């Protein structure tokens, strides 16, 4: 036996849930504040740190142009990135636990495919039936119509999945159904674009790049509360999620109402992933990577610890990715999805190679 294990085993009370050091939490909060401020300072125009603080404090001495950039563009963008990162991380965590599969992401149930289909249909309709003229008359911006389309598509898939989840016994069956819906949506999108012109296709492709920059303050009034509700719902499911780590059989034997909880998990994850996709496009990779990063940092798969960690780390990672995508100091902006995968994938490979067991199924 490992001598240190014997020494560590205390004669007094064993606390079953080890505490994560406060220092780590403060470090994460500090990192979050840091990247948040960087996001406000950096971009195509660099604004000095002091001026950004002054603008946030409501100081009117600062040049009006800078005020506009920070308050109307960078601040909503930073808030969107934080919320979206937290939401995708949380949705990914729930899906990985529900399906006990380290490769699951927020979109395994076909949420983003549904949203893509919705957007593709709207883009197509805009060209085919003069939809653009109609929505302009109705007073909806082009951006808002994409949001509506993505929401409708995601909700459509979600309602089918929910109806099936009530009847299907096994999670694996549900996973396969979700994947198949993804393929169906994908092929429908391809077929639709056989009848479209290049320009419409470009609108769609740009949407699939993903961006945190499209959410205005007025849209934020729906975006932020929806995600906050979703995050709270997900956090409150920590206890049954822990039981799900052992599999459905054990979860049921411990008194978890498996079907009801599964439905709540799907509702929560879909609300989070669907909302983010609708406003920011299908942002890949964050949802799969953030939970793994958190498990490595916190050295546990306990959801009571992982839920807050995922919110913090998700916000930090999404902000950092957005910073990189804007290539500070340069005039170009990279597609967000390119950055998340290009930078993130090697990081995850590194984690897996170093600590294989953190990736255990269900972990």
Q: Whose CA is closest to 267, among 275, 278, 279?
A: 275
Least Cβ distance, residue 264 to another protein (angstroms):
12
Least Cβ distance, residue 86 to another protein (angstroms):
20
Least Cβ distance, residue 355 to another protein (angstroms):
8
204: which residues sit within 8 A by CB, 6+ positions away? Answer: 119, 120, 123, 189, 193
* Region label for 58, one of left (φ > 0), alpha (ψ between -120 and 50) or beta (otherwise): left
Q: Whose CA is closest to 116, among 221, 203, 199?
A: 203
Q: Which residues ranging from 287 to 306 are in contact with another protein (CB under 8 A)?
A: 295, 299-302, 304
Please give the angle made by the CA atoms of 107, 113 and 116, to the nearest 5 degrees. 125
Determine, following the binding rule CB under 8 A, whether residue 249 of this chain makes contact with another protein: yes
**Is the Cβ of residue 7 or residue 137 nearer to another protein in the bound state?**
7
Determine, following the binding rule CB under 8 A, whether residue 15 of this chain makes contact with another protein: yes
Determine, following the binding rule CB under 8 A, whether residue 257 of this chain makes contact with another protein: yes
- Among 129, 250, 349, 350, which residue sits at the site for another protein (rule: CB under 8 A)? 250
Query: Rounded CA gap, 272 and 102, in Å?
Result: 19
Q: Whose CA is closest to 170, among 241, 288, 264, 258?
A: 258
Determine, following the binding rule CB under 8 A, whether residue 13 of this chain makes contact with another protein: yes
- Among 242, 275, 326, 337, which residue sits at the site for another protein (rule: CB under 8 A)? 242
**Is the Cβ of residue 220 or residue 229 nearer to another protein in the bound state?**
229
Please tell me what DSSP assigns to residue 358.
G
Q: How many residues bind another protein (CB under 8 A)?
A: 41
Determine, following the binding rule CB under 8 A, whether residue 246 of this chain makes contact with another protein: yes
**Is the Cβ of residue 16 or residue 30 nearer to another protein in the bound state?**
16
312: which residues sit within 8 A by CB, 6+ positions away? Answer: 25, 28, 29, 32, 86
* Burial class of residue 346 in the structure, from the number of CB atoms within 10 Å of its CB (0-12 exposed, 13-18 middle, 19+ buried): exposed
Least Cβ distance, residue 258 to another protein (angstroms):
8
**Piece of the chain touching another protein by CB under 8 A; list 107-115, 128-136, 224-232, 254-262:** 254-262
Least Cβ distance, residue 251 to another protein (angstroms):
9
User: For residues 355 and 96, is the Cβ–Cβ distance under 8 A?
Assistant: no
Determine, following the binding rule CB under 8 A, whether residue 234 of this chain makes contact with another protein: no
Determine, following the binding rule CB under 8 A, whether residue 137 of this chain makes contact with another protein: no
Binding site for another protein (CB under 8 A): 1, 5-6, 8-9, 13-18, 100, 236, 238-239, 242-243, 245-247, 249-250, 252-257, 295, 299-302, 304, 357-363
């Amino acid at each position: 036996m490992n001598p240190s294990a014997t020494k560590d085993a205390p004669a007094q009370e064993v606390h079953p849930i080890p505490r994560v050091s406060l220092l780590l939490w403060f470090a994460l909060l500090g990192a979050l504040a840091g990247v948040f401020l960087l996001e406000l300072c950096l971009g195509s125009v660099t604004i000095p740190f002091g001026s950004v603080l002054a603008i946030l404090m409501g100081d009117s001495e600062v040049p009006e142009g800078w005020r506009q950039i920070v308050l109307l563009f960078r601040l909503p963008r930073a808030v969107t990135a934080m919320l979206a990162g937290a939401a995708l991380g949380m949705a990914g965590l729930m899906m990985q636990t529900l399906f006990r599969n380290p490769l699951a992401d927020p979109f395994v149930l076909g949420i983003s495919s549904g949203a893509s289909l919705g957007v593709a249909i709207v883009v197509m309709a805009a060209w085919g039936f003069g939809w653009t003229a109609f929505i302009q008359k109705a007073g909806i911006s082009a951006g808002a119509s994409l949001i509506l389309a993505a929401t409708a598509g995601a909700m459509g898939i979600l309602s089918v999945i929910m109806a099936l989840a009530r009847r299907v016994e096994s999670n694996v069956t549900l996973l396969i159904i979700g994947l198949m819906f993804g393929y169906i949506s994908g092929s429908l999108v391809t077929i639709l674009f056989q009848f479209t012109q290049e320009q419409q296709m470009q609108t769609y492709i740009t949407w699939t790049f993903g961006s945190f920059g499209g959410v205005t303050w007025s849209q934020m009034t729906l975006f932020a509360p929806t995600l906050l509700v979703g995050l709270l719902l997900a956090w409150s499911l920590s206890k049954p999620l822990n039981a799900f780590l052992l599999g459905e059989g054990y979860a049921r034997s411990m008194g978890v109402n498996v079907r009801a909880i599964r439905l709540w998990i799907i509702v929560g994850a879909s609300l989070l992933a669907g909302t983010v996709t609708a406003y920011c496009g299908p942002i890949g990779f964050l949802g799969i990577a953030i939970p793994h990063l958190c498990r490595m940092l916190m050295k546990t798969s306990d959801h009571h610890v992982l839920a807050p960690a995922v919110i913090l780390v998700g916000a930090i990672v999404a902000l950092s990715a957005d910073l990189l995508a804007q290539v500070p100091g340069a005039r170009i902006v990279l597609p967000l999805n390119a950055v998340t995968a290009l930078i993130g994938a090697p990081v995850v490979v590194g984690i897996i190679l170093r600590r294989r067991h953190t990736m255990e199924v269900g972990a």
